[in-house]
Amino acid sequence: MTTTTTARAVIVTKPGDGSVLEVQDIEVTPPGAGEVQVEVAAAGVNFIDVYKRQGVYPTPTPFVLGEEGAGTVTALGDGVDGFSVGDHVAWAQAGGSEASVVNRRTDDLVPVPDGVDLETAAAAMLQGLTAHYLVTSTFPAKEGDIALVHAAAGGVGQLLVQLLTAKGVTVIATAGSEEKLEIARRRGAAHTIDYSSTQDLAAAVREAAGRGVDVVYDGVGKATFDASLGSLRPRGMLVLFGGASGQVPPFDLQRLNRAGSLFITRPTLAHYVQTRDELEWRAREVLGAIADGTLEVEIGGRYPFDEAAAAYDALEGRRTTGKVILVPTA
């Protein structure tokens, strides 16, 4: 393969809000050594894209947005082993994913098993790998534990609730509306709390749990941080994995002492897929659970690339449940 290919792509033209996104034709070179070319079936919409678009994670502009996707291998670069034209593949952490054709390093790819369609695979990768490492490695929750999960109707949230309840963990779920709480209950949450209308969230959690909880999985950040600390039992762990409401400002470490010798960690996916074996293990378990029906991924929004700005607007505006994906054409 020697010629370039034209692809449609979602481009960030300069740092800013959704209005800086443009959908343009770009030229894609043939795949380089160790790369394959992929016809993209769907790309996942994630908060990290928002942070990059805003310039919070500085990225030179213009750039193609998106970290995650799934599609079909159409061409192989030199030295590629273990992948063939026609394979279904997915990835979670490779920039420039919102294009109809992409070149991907094979190190970033995992195979999509039979029984998982490509849109679901794209929807499951980044949030699925995240939920997996949070419950198996960051705080390996076990039967009998009580966990608090914030934004439980969201992408990571719904997966967390399912993975935790499958382990015999009692889940207390929060969300911002009755409709979202109903989703959390369907996913297995034993108790639900609308944190948008609760005065003393920590007290409500403690009442539901009958004690302080063992772990809090908090991807909301600034708005929930104090209540998360206040919900924990002595020596409990706050897993602060995101800041959908804003980043938590610096705080006094003595608070951990006074509140009960608490633990706090701020994990990120890249550090939990450091080796090929670890990436393959987590992806196999997540995609395998989807294939056998034990893990469900809600695709709560599906937008063509041309409407990418609307997709991000919905995510940032708290109007989504489950996962939002982009597809090259409507």
Least distance in Å: CB of 176 to ligand NDP? 3
Name which position in 6, 137, 268, 294 contacts ligand NDP (CB under 6 A). 268
Residue 95 has what DSSP assignment?
A: S
Residue 188 has what DSSP assignment?
A: T
Q: Does 120 bind ligand NDP (CB under 6 A)?
A: no
Q: Does 28 bind ligand NDP (CB under 6 A)?
A: no
Which residues from 180-219 bind ligand NDP, rule CB under 6 A?
A: 180, 219
Q: Does 130 bind ligand NDP (CB under 6 A)?
A: yes
Q: Is the dihedral of CA 136, 142, 145, 146 positive or negative?
A: positive
Name which position in 46, 103, 192, 228 contacts ligand NDP (CB under 6 A). 46
Name which position in 69, 96, 154, 301 contacts ligand NDP (CB under 6 A). 154
If binding means CB under 6 A, how many residues of this protein chain bind ligand NDP?
A: 28
Where are the extended beta strands (E) located within the chain? 5-12, 21-28, 35-44, 63-64, 69-76, 88-91, 101-105, 110-111, 146-149, 170-175, 191-194, 213-218, 232-240, 263-265, 299-304, 323-327
> Could you give the CA distance from residue 63 to residue 59 in angstroms, rounded to a whole number?
8
| Largest Cα–Cα separation, the chain | 66
Output 40 or 173, the one with its CB closest to ligand NDP: 173
Q: Does 228 bind ligand NDP (CB under 6 A)?
A: no
Q: Does 66 bind ligand NDP (CB under 6 A)?
A: no
Residues in the chain: 330
37 near 30, Cβ under 8 Å?
A: yes
Chain residues binding ligand NDP by CB under 6 A are 46-47, 126-127, 130, 151, 153-157, 175-176, 180, 219-220, 223, 241-245, 267-269, 316, 318, 320
